[in-house]
Amino acid sequence: MTEKSPADNFPAGYEVPKVWTWDKGNGGQFANINRPIAGPTHDKDLPVGKHPLQLYSLATPNGVKVTIMLEELLAAGHTGAEYDAWLIRINDGDQFGSGFVDVNPNSKIPALMDRSTPEPTRVFESGAILLYLAEKFGAFLPSDHKARTEAINWLFWQMGSAPYLGGGFGHFYAYAPMHIQYAIDRFSMEVKRQLDVLDRHLADNRFMAGLDYSIADIAIWPWYGNLAQGKQYGESGTFLDVQSYRHVQRWTAEIAERPAVKRGRMVNRAFGEPSEQLHERHDASDFETKTQDKIAPDSATKA
């Protein structure tokens, strides 16, 4: 008797080829920038501002992690954390410019250059940037061994879990060219399991590493806080019944009220309300004078 393949359980329609080939028409909303190869597509140098830290990013959840961290550092008095934030429009393929690829060979935002070191230091991957900044400034990472380890545990949890939320659930629920029940069910189940993990932990902890706010909270909040507030993927908050995770809701609401978090969410934002869009940030005063409602209302909605 011939052994059945798992694929035999699915409806007919797609026969898996022996060797995969790239169909440029696939990928749904992001087909114009998705590709199976790395490296630059064009020559383009990155701008450099006056501050020690140069950030190249967009206000996706991964980008927001870093701008929140930088604003929190400045709010805590770390003047060396002054930064220039340059907008990288990923839908236009800015991340494939040669200058950006030199900073992050993976062509993903955010990417950071620290020019305060003897030779400029590149830092890529949002979790790595948070850890780098926490260690550089001695902030938002507990010094106690147990609490420090707990913060790093949850930082790595977020880095491993968020792809199920963004690339899995978010893609198939909001961006895929068709709704596939199996895919949506699979990733909805996983995202709800993750929310339950957070909810159970936060039932006994004010913040992710205990009593103190840390890079673990800064990493997790832009993904799961946004989801819990119903600000991610359209009606996904209702679909996933996020209000039922009451400890996540408490944690989310507390962090959302932090002034540095409010500022961090605005930096490199090129969508949404014009008053909440600060395309570039070069000085603290930019929040008052250079949001899109003040400088370019007609172009504020360009993503």
pLDDT at 300: 46
Residue 15 backbone phi and psi in degrees, to 5: -100, 120
For the domain made up of 53-137, give the CATH fold: Glutaredoxin (3.40.30)
pLDDT at 303: 45
How high is the pLDDT of residue 98?
A: 98
Contact 92, 257 (CB under 8 A): no
What fold, for 145-263?
Answer: Glutathione S-transferase Yfyf (Class Pi); Chain A, domain 2 (1.20.1050)
Structure tokens at 137: 């400034």
State the CB neighbour count (10 A cutoff) for residue 66: 31
Look at residue 24 in the predicted model and tell me its pLDDT.
73
Alpha helices in 124-240 (DSSP H): 126-137, 145-163, 181-202, 215-220, 226-228, 236-239
What does the pLDDT average to over 273-290? 97
The pLDDT value given to residue 129: 98
- Provide the β-strand partners of residue 121: 114
For residues 153-170, give the mean pLDDT.
97
* Percent of residues, the chain, with pLDDT higher than 90: 87
Distances (CA, A) of 100 to 43, 87, 116, 301: 10, 12, 19, 24
- 184 Cβ contact partners less than 8 Å away, ≥ 6 residues apart: 169, 172, 173
pLDDT tens track for 208-241: 999 999 999 999 999 999 999 999 999 999 999 9
213 vs 21 pLDDT, higher one: 213
Q: What is the reported pLDDT for 127?
A: 98
Q: What is the domain partition of the chain in residue ranges?
A: 53-137, 145-263
Confidence at residue 41, expressed as pLDDT on a 0 to 100 scale: 94
Q: What is the pLDDT of residues 235-260, one digit of tens each?
A: 999 999 999 999 999 999 999 999 99
Least confident range of 32-46, 178-192, 241-255: 32-46
Neighbouring-strand partners of residue 122? 113
The string of pLDDT tens digits covering residues 68-115 is 999 999 999 999 999 999 999 999 999 999 999 999 999 999 999 999
Question: Residues 159-188: what's their mean pLDDT?
Answer: 96
pLDDT averaged over every residue in the chain: 93
